């Protein structure tokens, strides 16, 4: 079932200048190429190159994790976005919680893909999956760490902030991904300025 006037589009190619122009994005990406990036300049679209997404006001994005449990860097050009993320180390607990709610067996990685599941973080937390919620503002970057389930919704600029307080997260172990390390450094520098 769909909600009239609400849409969320993902995986819009945004690597080349022409693709960015077609996606109505600035011609230069603020996060690509990441200084010190060890990934190849060409490769699997959306994995080694940027993609875009867009949503109308109120558009939700359902609980999911990135393909191959990889991380992602999300830059917001306008509006606001509410995010909910699970702690990457609680992936198995979160998977079990989703499986229990849906009455489905998690027999493959993308068992949530077509479920459009949107439900509160209290259930995840009660089943051993620490989960946080926060607001992303325009021109801010969100780094989703590998193995973190996430969901949320698009907000309008004029809507009031939710009662959650924005937080800063710190990893307890050093990331092994040069791209993630670079993204963390970039985010830290932007917060300092």
Q: Give me the CATH number covering residue 148.
A: 2.60.120.650
Q: Quick one: pLDDT band at residue 7, thresholds 50, 70, 90?
A: confident
Tokens 């109120």 — which residue? 58
pLDDT of res. 120: 73
Tell me what percent of the residues of the chain surpass a pLDDT of 90. Answer: 34
The DSSP code sequence of the chain is ---TT--EEEEEE-SSHHHHHHTT--SS-SSSSPTT--S-SSSSTTTTS-EEEEE-TT-EEEEE--GGG--EEEE--SSEEEEEEE-GGGHHHHHHHHHHHHT----STTTTTTT-----HHHHHHTT--EEEEEEETT-EEEEPTT--EEEEEE-TTSPPPSPPP-----SS--S-HHHHHHHHHHHHHHH-
| 119 is a domain residue | yes
| 113 is a domain residue | yes
The domain total for the chain is 1
| 67 is a domain residue | yes
- Residue 139, both tokens: 């021109």
Answer yes or no: are the C-beta atoms of 135 and 161 closer than 8 Å: yes
Higher pLDDT, 71 or 160: 71
pLDDT in tens, 79-114: 899 999 999 999 999 999 999 888 888 888 778 877
pLDDT of res. 173: 39
| 55 is a domain residue | yes
pLDDT in tens, 122-131: 889 999 999 9
Q: Quick one: pLDDT band at residue 42, thresholds 50, 70, 90?
A: low
- Residue 31, both tokens: 């996060």
For the cut 50, the answer to whether the pLDDT of residue 175 exceeds it is no
Which of 3-7, 8-12, 56-60, 73-77 is predicted least confidently?
Answer: 3-7
| 157 is a domain residue | yes
| 170 is a domain residue | yes
pLDDT of res. 3: 72
Q: For the chain, give the mean pLDDT.
A: 78
| 3 is a domain residue | no
Give burial (CB, 10 Å; 0-12/13-18/19+) of 60.
Answer: middle
Higher pLDDT, 21 or 116: 21
Determine the structural domain holding residue 159 and report its residue range: 8-192
pLDDT of res. 161: 44
């Amino acid at each position: 079932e769909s909600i009239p006037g609400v849409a969320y589009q993902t995986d819009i190619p945004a690597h080349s200048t022409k693709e960015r122009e077609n996606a109505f994005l600035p011609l230069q990406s603020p996060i690509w190429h990441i200084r010190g990036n060890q990934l190849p300049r060409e490769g699997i679209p959306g994995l080694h190159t940027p993609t875009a997404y867009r949503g109308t006001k109120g558009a939700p994005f359902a609980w999911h994790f990135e393909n191959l449990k990889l991380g992602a860097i999300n830059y917001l050009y306008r509006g606001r976005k509410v995010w909910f993320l699970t702690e990457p180390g609680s992936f198995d607990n979160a998977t079990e919680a989703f499986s229990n709610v849906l009455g489905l067996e998690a027999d493959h990685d993308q068992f949530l893909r077509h479920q459009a599941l949107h439900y509160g973080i209290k259930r995840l937390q009660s089943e051993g999956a620490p989960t946080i919620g926060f607001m992303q503002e325009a021109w801010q970057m969100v780094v989703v760490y590998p193995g973190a389930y996430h969901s949320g919704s698009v907000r309008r600029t004029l809507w009031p902030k939710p009662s959650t307080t924005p937080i800063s997260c710190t990893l307890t172990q050093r990331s092994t991904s040069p791209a993630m390390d670079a993204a963390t450094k970039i985010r830290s520098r932007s917060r300092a300025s």
